[in-house]
A and B are shown apart, each in its own frame.
Chain A
Amino acid sequence: MEVYEHDRSNTMIKSVSSLRSLAPVLIVLLLLALVPLFSPSNRFLSLAISAGINIIALYGLSVLFGQTGILSMGHAALVGVGAYTAALLARDFDIGFWVSIPVAGIMAAIVAAIIGIPSLRVSGHHFVIMTFAFGQLLTIILTNGGDFTGAASGLDMGKPVTMFGADLDALPRFYLLVVAFVTVSAVASWAIIHSSYGRTLRAIRENEKLAAALGIDVGRHKIGAFIVSGVFAGVSGVLLAYFLRHISPGQFASFPSIYLALMVMIGGARLLLGPLAGGILVSFLPEVLNLDPVQSRILYGACLIAVILFLPNGVIAGIADGWTWLVRMSKRRPAAGNVSEVGR
């Protein structure tokens, strides 16, 4: 009897603490949704939209990397699958944004499965190389797809995003659309992290051998996590195609993939605020510091090294740890004084 009561209070504490991790993200996103009220420049809104589109993919990477411990270096290719799906649906079937979203999600999931099933049979480091290779392969396929994929020059997106008959093309409206999709992604990622499925993924991250001994099908769940992250990437790709109005293979090659990995590492993959912080920092830092592309690449490199060395769990986790440390120090000081006085 007592045991059961103990269990119930556990679940209650659990759900309160998991809500606590969602709240800051929702508050930040609510504040970000207010940005258009301050009539920001088009340049600012464009940057914010690209950052947001990346953040959607980052929430998928946070399930893959943060929870399962698998790093993908070809993730932009899955974003590309979503973008090309949207562009082809619009061109060949006159199908618009809202139908493209689920179709692109499914397409990216299928491609993730095709990449994941052979790749995840090999262990950690090899998987990173495999995803990188598949990413390259996809750009080669797109470049050589003739008229169907538009070859090296890519595809145009002829349609606007419409909602209830209204056109969402104006930047402030498109920005709000992206914020809404970021919110859905964050909530979806949160729901996965706090489900028993998320716990299973963390078990695999922590100790594969033990996970298998306890009955977890490690291979199947790794592929599953990769597919889940693919869905986020596919959705992100649709938004990208509708935002840029023109897509080409180079946008989904190795550099964008590396940027995604960089963002998730800089922000931190395990905490819900991580992807948001990583996406915003990496997108806005060069702008704020007024750097040219070469300088910003150098800065990214330096940032990545600094983060890996000093904040292995990302900026947000670093700040949280720093805060806990400060609180503990400020509590300990008087306490330590007491102890030494008692000692005397």
Chain B
Amino acid sequence: MNAILDIKGLRKHFGGVTALSGVDLAINEGEILGVVGPNGSGKTTLFNVVTGVHKPTAGTVTWKGKDITGIPANQISGNGIGYTFQQAMAFPGLTVLENVQIATEHSAASTRTDFAWPTPAALLDFVGISGLAREKAGILPFGSLRLLGLALALATRPSLLLLDEPAAGLNDRETAALVGLVQQFPAHGISVCVIDHDMKLMQMLCKRLAVLDFGAKIADGPTADVLHDKKVLEVYLGGEL
């Protein structure tokens, strides 16, 4: 398999807190990789360090063979890595359409000319919120806000999408719709790495699962195997599993 993003020995300390204690993780081209782990295990920090929100304490991040360790946040999308935040967010005072226009305008990765959703209208159509184009993003119901967040990340024309708990706060119908969207990405040349607690969702989406616990990776492999791993079961004893 071909690693599109290769994370090696990634560490992140916040003062005395070790959020990541040397994580190795490879995301392969064309896959949907799941990252699970208890609250506070370092999942969001992993994304934040890769996307330049935080500088890593140690370790390297290699993107398509190029070292991108610690590059500034605003250069990540230009490299073709899109991401959504755990806290659903948009530009609340601007209309939904303006939100997506901004996102399309600044993608230096527009080298991807073959992109499936080339215009703001096409993006809104794809995630299913065209009808809300004229509304201020600040008044969107939560489910639509999550979808707008996805449209914004897609607008940067990524070849890898990092999704941090994209279904958190969504009802069953909205979650199913989201799964339907995410499953289409690999066919459009977008690899995915998704964080979530919801094991049912992860089983639907991911053939491969990595598990973090206290900032370390304790398992990584085919979803079914990982879910029966002894260490993983211990971590989740009495939890959602």
Contact = CB atoms under 8 A, between A and B. Distances in A.
A332 interface: no
Given A214-B107, A214-B156, A199 B102 contact: yes
17 contacts: A3-B119, A7-B120, A10-B97, A202-B93, A202-B94, A203-B91, A209-B89, A210-B90, A210-B152, A213-B85, A214-B155, A215-B76, A215-B77, A215-B107, A216-B74, A217-B74, A218-B74
Interface centre among A199, A202, A213 (most CB of B within 10 A): A213
Nearest to B51: A213
B125 A207 contact: no
A214 B94 contact: no
Contact of A200 (B73, B97, B105): B105
A209 B108 CA distance: 18
Interface residues on B, range: 35 or more
Contacts of B156: 214-215
A209 B121 contact: no
Interface residues on A, range: 20 to 34
Interface of B: 51, 53, 72-78, 83, 85, 89-94, 97-98, 101-103, 105-108, 119-122, 125, 152-153, 155-156
A250 B103 CA distance: 45
Contacts of B121: 3, 6-7
B89 A216 contact: no
B94 A215 contact: no
Nearest to A69: B93
Contacts, number: 80
Interface string A203-225: 10111011111111110000000
Contacts of A211: 74, 91, 102
Contact of B103 (A205, A209, A214): A214
A199 B101 contact: yes
A199 B73 contact: no
A1 B93 CA distance: 30
Contacts of A215: 74-78, 106-108, 156
Counting from the closest, the 3 A-B pairs by CB-CB distance are A206-B91, A215-B106, A215-B77
Given A206-B92, A207-B89, A214-B152, A200 B119 contact: no
Interface of A: 3-4, 6-7, 10, 196, 199-200, 202-203, 205-207, 209-218
Given A3-B125, A215-B77, 19 more contacts: A3-B121, A6-B121, A7-B120, A196-B101, A199-B101, A199-B105, A200-B102, A202-B94, A203-B91, A203-B94, A206-B93, A206-B94, A209-B53, A209-B85, A210-B91, A212-B74, A213-B153, A215-B107, A216-B106
Contacts of B97: 10
Interface centre among B85, B91, B92, B125 (most CB of A within 10 A): B91
Contacts of A200: 102, 105-106
Chain A binding surface SS class: helix
B106 A214 contact: yes
B169 to A, nearest CB: 17
Contacts of A207: 89-92
Nearest to B105: A196
Contacts of B152: 210, 214
Contacts of A209: 53, 73, 85, 89
A212 B98 CA distance: 16
Contacts of B74: 211-213, 215-218
Contact of A210 (B75, B78, B89, B107): B89
Contact of A213 (B77, B94, B105): B77
Nearest to A7: B121
Contacts of A210: 85, 89-91, 152
Contact of B102 (A3, A10, A203): A203
A191 B3 CA distance: 46
Nearest to A197: B105
